[in-house]
Amino acid sequence: MLLPSVAAMGDFTIFLCFGPLLMQCTSIILTGEMQSKLIYYCVPIGLLTEAIVHANNARDISSDASAGFSTTASLLGLEYSRILYNSLIIGAYVSALVIATLHHCGCILVVLSAPLALGVMKQFSRNDLLTLDADTAKMHLPFGLLLWAGILLSSEGLIHT
């Protein structure tokens, strides 16, 4: 019973490490202190990073199971993995739109990358998983750059008081 709980923590750990922890460590290095407002900005990036890992794990469900590995994707199965993957992608866009509404209106620019997101979601629906992780990573870059540009284009900058 230990393996399922550990596998479920793997996805959460990826989100934490490439979302809040990465942003807060960067803040400490650059400013010498943690910034609580960064939590808004780490959510969309963390969700998309987790989507890359989840796409890889969904592709490898059969081989992971035969090798005795347990991942969130192998626990969920392909259909529920698709739902989780789509939720991660949609969650990234929703959280970026929340940032645009509450903090930096320029972050609405992320919608320009929505066709790429729709493409990878359709790719998963077709069970075309061979390059889904790489294609998700390719979608992550323009999303991140547009989010960054949206912050820069907003008059208040990243951290405003």
Alpha-carbon distances, residue 74 vs 16, 135, 155 (angstroms):
21, 21, 45
Tokens of residue 139, six digits? 């979608």
Supply the pLDDT for residue 157.
58
pLDDT tens digits in sequence order for the chain, 161 residues long: 444 455 557 788 888 888 888 888 888 999 999 888 888 889 999 999 999 999 999 999 999 888 878 889 988 999 999 999 999 999 999 999 999 999 899 999 999 999 999 999 999 999 999 999 999 999 999 999 999 999 998 866 555 44
Closest among 105, 95, 92, 103 to 141, alpha carbons compared: 92
Residue 159: inside a domain, yes or no? Answer: no
What span, in angstroms and rounded, lies between the C-alpha atoms of 76 and 58?
Answer: 9
Residue 111: inside a domain, yes or no? Answer: yes
Q: Which helix (H) or strand (E) holds 92?
A: helix 72-102
Detail the DSSP E strand segments found in the chain: none
Supply the pLDDT for residue 11.
82
For residue 142, how many other CB atoms are within 10 A of its CB? 16
Alpha-carbon distances, residue 94 vs 67, 89, 116 (angstroms):
36, 9, 15
Residue 149: inside a domain, yes or no? Answer: yes
- pTM to 2 decimals? 0.87
Supply the pLDDT for residue 112.
98
Residue 120: inside a domain, yes or no? Answer: yes
Tokens of residue 23, six digits? 């942003």
The separation between the first and the last C-alpha atoms of the chain, rounded to the nearest angstrom, is 47
CATH of the domain at 25: 1.20.120.1780
The parent domain of residue 47 ranges over 2-153
- Chain centroid, CA 17 distance in Å: 11
**What is the number of domains present in the chain?**
1
